[in-house]
Structure 1
Amino acid sequence: MENQFEKTEKNGRAHFPVGKILTYALLTLWAVIVLFPFYWMLLTSVKSYSAYNSEYIPKLYTLAPTLENYKEAFTAVPLARYFANTVIFAVITTALMVIVTVLAAFAFARLKFRGRDLAFTLFLALMMIPNELVVITNYVTITNLELRNTFAGLILPSVTSVFYIYLLKENFAQVPDQLYYAAKVDGTSDFRYLRRVMIPICKPTIVTITILKVIECWNSYVWPRLITDDENYFLVSNGIQEIRENGFGRENIPAMMAAVVVISVPLIILFLLFRKKIMEGVSRGGTKG
């Protein structure tokens, strides 16, 4: 019996490296598949227009990289203005969304009022409504308010999120009730308790939804494209179409890729800097108890 156990253990050790090698090989292959489009985008952006068009078979390298495409990306169209508009849109929208989300999540998680559970259930039911219907309703509302081609029209429909409220509400619910009751005994107001206790404890989740909202705003395309036709309010996402149509043309792919690289780099840096915070916040928000 003992010899059989030792034999099984040795066999297990013998097969373990093979499984580990196979796992790393598959992960490496998947990483190459995922990262190759980014490599191709960066490579194309440093190729000259003539070199790119002369390649009958695309090459995976270039011996004469150039930054001329990046210069053209900023001079052919007002890309800097698109960046400024996007920063304004992302910062204001995210700030308002965080305020609304924190207050709503605190109300659903800690305050006691009649119909709270029913209201929260109906609130979650909004996630079942297709986004297309929401876009149509928002478009009609913003148009009737004469807010097209304004930052207010861009920002207002994006200042709340059912999912982020749900995520933060679940995180708030993990904070022990005893802390709240002790604070009330000491005469602490609900707002002060939220500011001094709940927010510091749940900071990772708040940071997470903040970062995710910034990324969402930066990538927003349908709504800005629908509600704005004035170039002064274009964001980087829908500015790409303007670059393609009225900038350096559909054929100048290297210059287009340079513009896409410039637009993508801030999000990549943001994710790399805060990826641990994002993972920590999502895991805390999804764990009960």
Structure 2
Amino acid sequence: MRKNNASKYLAYAFLILLALAWLFPALFGLFTSFKSQGDIMEVGFRMFPANWIVTNYLKLLQNTSSAPIITWFFNSLFVSTTHALLVVVVVSLAAFGYTRVNFKGRDALFYGVLAISMFPSAVNIIPSYKIVDSLGWVNTYLAVIIPGLGGVGNVFLVRQFMQNIPAEYDESARMDGASDFVIYKNIILPLVKPVLIVAGMFSFVGSWNDFLWPTIVLSDVKKMTITAGLQLLQDLYGNYVMIGQLMSAAVIAMIPTVLLFVFAQKYFIDSLNLNVGIK
């Protein structure tokens, strides 16, 4: 019993250290966004502001020309939400095909695609850009929404969930004259709702935090996502005088992902239980 308690306490201590390692820079950035120029340039380390101010946020929000942070925020919100919704549709259809539709070479095709996905994503940047350019999507929202819709990681996650649903459901529905699409829509989708929500959230966060690809395909300041905009802000404000505004922009960029984590923890837990939707 003592050994079990010791292991539990060690695990808790390790998790607390990991949490602190993540929280400390986030909290430091948050507090820095409320610091005055004098506090930021002060020699030595100071976690909390000597005088709390909101001037950094006001100046940042008032800049609607060279750094339209509100426009970037809503651009990212539109791109990430649209991308996540389309991912749910594409991934659920792909997983349904790989688990509920029998065709020759089905498993070989899936594992082949899974093997190809093991290559680093940086390898695909130039081919992806050439494809996007040939379609005329450069500097449009399509360039940051469409690529990555069929991410193999999400397909694998939903496929594993679907495989646990008994095949008898499909057979009973087919005996009643249901087509594959009816089975997908009326039987499978309700059962895999928790994991689809998780896949959608992963896609939203991945799209929201994506930095490299938007900076490559978007050049119009008014069309930039917030991550690409932060890079522009770093070029504009990358000195001690403007570091408070840069931190303010970073805090604004964190808001959606933090809220998503707070309100969606239940679905992360449900997705770990493969039987959650089966009654």
Provide TM-score, normalisation by structure 1: 0.87
Measure the CA separation in 1 of the matches of 2:111 and 2:10: 45
Report 1:25-64 matches (<5 A): 25-53=13-41, 55-64=42-51
Indicate if the aligned counterparts of 2:68 and 2:222 stay in contact, CA closer than 8 A. no
- Unaligned 5+ segments in structure 2 are none
Q: CA deviation at 1:282?
A: 4.3
- Are 1:272 and 2:269 matched, yes or no? no
Root-mean-square deviation (CA, aligned residues, Å) is 2.0
- Choose the corresponding residue for 1:242, options 232, 252, 257: 232
Measure the CA separation in 2 of the matches of 1:164 and 1:238: 25
Q: CA deviation at 1:60?
A: 2.1
Report 1:1-289 matches (<5 A): 12=1, 23-53=11-41, 55-76=42-63, 77-246=67-236, 248-251=237-240, 252-284=242-274
Measure the CA separation in 2 of the matches of 1:240 and 1:231: 11
Q: CA deviation at 1:132?
A: 1.5
Indicate if the aligned counterparts of 2:164 and 2:274 stay in contact, CA closer than 8 A. no
Query: For residues 172 and 147 of structure 1, do their structure 2 counterparts lie closer, same or farther at Cα, with a shift above 3 Å needed?
Result: same
152-161 or 263-272, larger mean C-alpha shift = 152-161
Greater percentage in helix: 1
Structure with greater Cα Rg: 1
Indicate if the aligned counterparts of 1:82 and 1:234 stay in contact, CA closer than 8 A. yes
42-51 or 117-126, larger mean C-alpha shift = 117-126
Q: CA deviation at 1:170?
A: 1.2
Measure the CA separation in 2 of the matches of 1:25 and 1:114: 51
Identical pairs, percent: 27
Provide TM-score, normalisation by structure 2: 0.90
Indicate if the aligned counterparts of 1:126 and 1:162 stay in contact, CA closer than 8 A. no
Q: Size of the alignment, in residue pairs?
A: 271
Q: CA deviation at 1:145?
A: 2.1
Structure 2 equivalent of residue 7 of structure 1: none
Measure the CA separation in 2 of the matches of 1:262 and 1:48: 18
